[in-house]
Structure 1
């Protein structure tokens, strides 16, 4: 467990990606790319990015977005990446490792090592099971176990030739236009909670106002993150 406080620096996750990774000209695999927002951001910075997504719904959203350059989106799973050995300079998991089933999480790390070139980088950014945004969603979408599983899985990364080069804990923010945007975000991640969301809506609305900070553009919620940069040796 961590203590969210002034000692943790506030940093936007995309800023950390830019600082820690040399993207220009790099071949990147974005595992669990969702709607492709990070894939497109990295493409704008000169990378050649392949987004991998298991959800047909999210994959459709990614493919429907206007292309930046040569990025593409492939249906696939973390434990069976559709790429040859030593293909990529960078493999990135952004908020996605904890969505991999625990029974295949080690296999997913093995696959990341397999597709990375020697000297390539595995970049993992994972939310801690703490902080205002986590507390907001916990009522109907408690990720405590899966987020802790992801942190524990990284301890075995050296078994696959992935050595920790640097790490960072920081405070990111989740920006939402309004309560409806929170509903849409959560039910897109987990459509099975729609009924539960309706049942708990009154509580969720109170927590939304209590835990968030209102701005001119909507609401922001702090979320502590841990970044791990591992080098394929």
Structure 2
């Protein structure tokens, strides 16, 4: 039976999550943490965070970054975490489950369930929806329809069997750019996607981008977001 998503309105990722969870004093894992921005925000709220990043280039940058109290970075994929079983309070995937390679998302979810404490552990998966004008402008050069669909399918078919309760939410955000070059710089500056400028600087993308121009000259695009929150791991 499908679970209706509760609408949280317009929020940042962290604001959406903290409307549902208190992380103060918790030991959590942020899988696919990227440069660790959200991991640092979680630490600022009182959590102890292990930031796991599989991309070796970004992982090296993380290790060399100025330290943050309560935050430890490791280079690790989602399928094999160097974490003891039943040892952490929460696991987060912030926009990262769809980046887990094809065919490995199920293993990643099972690994998340493994490291969580029984009864009290939670898994929080934040994913971009395949709707909104931001998805439309990104799709010509970074079409994530397949991987995002696979991520939701893995949640529907695997995660629900690993936990005793599930909650679903939605919220929205707006991506804002001063100009086209600002968007190009952002999307080509990520080591885990390797998007080339030539694939972004096309007439099709420029036309889609121009459609987001506001009367103030800023470019604004809507990005709906989805949260799947699972509690109480089901132990065999």
Judge same fold: TM > 0.5, yes or no: yes
CA drift of 1:47 comes to 0.5
3-state SS, counterpart of residue 50 of structure 1: strand
- Are the counterparts in 2 of residues 132 and 212 from structure 1 also a CA contact under 8 Å? no
The equivalences for 1:1-233 within 5 A come to: 9-118=9-118, 119-155=120-156, 156-160=158-162, 162-187=163-188, 188=190, 189-198=192-201, 200=202, 202-211=203-212, 213=214, 219-231=219-231, 232-233=233-234
Structure 1 contact 36–51 (Cα < 8 Å) conserved: yes
Instruction: Name the SS for the 2:77 alignment partner.
Output: coil
Distance 1:183 1:82 in 2: 36
Higher helix share: 1
Greater alpha carbon shift after TM alignment, 41-50 vs 8-17: 8-17
**Cα distance, 1:220 vs. partner?**
3.3
Shift of 1:194: 3.7
Shift of 1:96: 0.4
Residues 88 and 116 in structure 1, CA contact (< 8 A), matched pair in contact too: yes
Q: 1:213 to 1:125 in 2, by over 3 A?
A: farther
Residues 32 and 93 in structure 2, CA contact (< 8 A), matched pair in contact too: yes
SS in 1 for 2:169: strand
RMSD: 2.1
Contact 2:29 2:88 in 1 (8 A): yes
Shift in alpha-carbon separation, 1:219–1:159, aligned structure 2, 3 A: same
Q: Report how far residue 210 of structure 1 moved.
A: 0.9
After superposition, the Cα gap between the structure-2 partners of 1:159 and 1:23, relative to the gap in structure 1 and judged at 3 Å, is: same
Supply the distance in 2 between the matched residues of 1:215 and 1:124 (Cα, whole angstroms).
35
Is the Cα contact below 8 Å between 1:157 and 1:163 reproduced in 2? Answer: no
Residues 199-227 of structure 1: CA deviation (Å, up to 9, x unaligned) = x2x332332221354769x5432111110
Long gaps (5+) in structure 1: 1-6
User: 2:4 aligns to what?
Assistant: none
Q: Do the aligned partners of residues 129 and 67 (structure 1) sit closer, same or farther apart at CA in structure 2, a change above 3 Å counting?
A: same
Match of 2:3 in 1: none
Q: CA deviation at 1:176?
A: 3.5
Do the aligned residues in 2 keep the contact of 1:173 with 1:220 (CA within 8 Å)? yes
The number of residue pairs the alignment matches comes to: 223
